[in-house]
Amino acid sequence: MEVDGRVQNNPLKGILLMNLAMVLLAGMDGISKTLAPDYSIPQILCVRFLIFCLFALAIARPKSLRAAFRSNHPYLQIARSLIITIEVGIFILAFRYLPLADAHAISGIAPLLVTALAVPFLGEKVGRRRWTAIAIGFVGLLVIVRPGIGIFDPAALIPLGGAGLWAVYQILVRKVADDSAATSLLYMAVIGAVVMSALAPFFWRAPDTTGWILLLALGVVGSLGHYILILAFRATTASTLQPFHYVVLIWATMIGYLVFGDLPDMWTVLGAVIIAASGMYAFYRERQLGH
């Protein structure tokens, strides 16, 4: 992903930025989990997207806003923005019912879903080995959710649905890749802010001082995380960075334990390892084959 069209060739810088982005995004999810029991999802997202909108406008300011909003795929940009808005809301809902580590472990299936969806929607070719990696990843998902053995938690379907939307979002990101990152960022921020600002008044609960601090922190931390993610993709190639998406699992587990006293059980850890290993192998094959 680019902001100004330039991609550097500095893998170390990109990896460091990617890891910092994962720390911030895990922290954002920790704040979301803290807010979720007391405030509605539209209210949380309204504040988050309004702050994100300020960041996006600041990034686009060197260009004219009219130019930044000019897209080759306006309808796809709108659809992409609505999907990511719903996806974020779904994960906040998931955090109400599941530990951070569990939700992230289940959502780790998303990169494998992207690989599978790239075949019908992007016309990409996926070889036997990557299909095998996708199948093994789904085995890891079954290890985590354990359907049909008496301990299945229906709440596990929430982050799974979010992972599906995240995968569709990633496909749409590729579809609009000839738009600048500033354009994509603006569409996402403005549409999210407009939609949630329209919904939030119907669900608004006056925050106390702590609530306002957390809501503002959520917006700032989330915006910084996404911006640093953009910088990471400017520093090096996507195939170099993709495996480091799984670092968020480590940070989510740490935050979940330190803040909420949650630790994933053995099956969740095993399933997460299977999914992460499958995803990293799929990305390795993608890079090796030059797809």
Over residues 5-63, the pLDDT tens digits come to: 455 678 888 889 989 999 999 999 999 999 999 999 999 999 999 999 998 888 777 66
Supply the angle between the helices 157-175 and 100-107 in degrees, to the nearest 10. 50
As a whole number of Å, the end-to-end CA separation of the chain is 17
Phi, psi of 288 (to 5 degrees): -65, -40
User: Which tops the pLDDT comparison, 233 or 253?
Assistant: 253
How far is residue 221's CA from residue 252's CA, in Å, rounded to a whole number?
15
**CA distances (Å), origin 69, targets 4, 60, 178:** 14, 9, 13
How far is residue 124's CA from residue 108's CA, in Å, rounded to a whole number?
21
- Spell out the residues 6+ positions from residue 122 whose beta carbon is closer than 8 angstroms to its own: 171, 174, 175
For the chain, the average pLDDT equals 86
Helix (H, G, I), strand (E, B) or coil at 6: coil
Percent of the chain with pLDDT over 70: 91
Provide the pLDDT for residue 3.
Answer: 44
How far is residue 60's CA from residue 196's CA, in Å, rounded to a whole number?
22
Tokens of 176: 């609009």
Tokens of 97: 């019912």
Tokens 């909003």 label which residue?
69
How many CB atoms neighbour CB 89 within 10 A?
A: 21
Mean pLDDT for 202-227 is 94
Mean pLDDT for 225-230 is 83
The predicted model scores a pTM of: 0.86
Mean pLDDT for 192-218 is 96
Residue 9 CA to its chain's centroid (Å): 24
**CA distances (Å), origin 285, targets 74, 110, 134:** 33, 17, 12
The total number of residues shown for the chain amounts to 291
Residue-wise pLDDT for 95-125, tens only, equals: 999 999 999 999 989 888 988 888 888 887 8
Q: Where are the domains of the chain?
A: 11-289
Tokens 């915006």 label which residue?
223
